[in-house]
Structure 1
């Protein structure tokens, strides 16, 4: 399942790449991409693992970029 998320308070590309690297290792994540403007994250993941994946994603984002928030993007 592909999902898009708004990313708030992500300050630089280096942190974004670190997030992508760590998130890509989370069980259930098939693909992760953070936009160049650092405002959107797209994650392809196994549908049944979505809650567990997103719990880890939120923790990783907050740890790498203190105060970073991830919000589901309704389309």
Structure 2
């Protein structure tokens, strides 16, 4: 299952790479990518584990970049 999220308060590309690296190591995550403008994140993960994955994603983002928020992008 692939979903796209808005990313807020992330301005450092090195922090974005760190976030991608940590999320990519999680069980159930197939692919993760943050756009070059640091405003969107695409996550592909197992549907059965998506809720658990997203709880950890929010914590990782806030830990790496204080104030960073991730919100689902409705299309």
TM-score (normalised: structure 2):
0.98
Q: 1:4-19 alignment to 2 at 5 Å?
A: 4-19=4-19
- Residue-pair matches, total: 75
Quote the offset at 1:11 in angstroms: 1.5
CA distance in 1 between partners of 2:29 and 2:60 (Å): 13
Distance 2:39 2:13 in 1: 11
**Alignment TM-score, normalising by the size of structure 1:** 0.98
SS of alignment partner, residue 43 of structure 1: strand
Q: Which runs of 5+ in 2 are unaligned?
A: none
Q: Which sections of structure 1, spanning at least 5 residues, go unmatched?
A: none
Q: Pairwise mapping of residues 32-71 of structure 1 onto structure 2 (< 5 A)?
A: 32-71=32-71
Give CA deviations for 1:37-72 in whole Å, capped at 9, x if unaligned: 000000000001011000000000000000000000
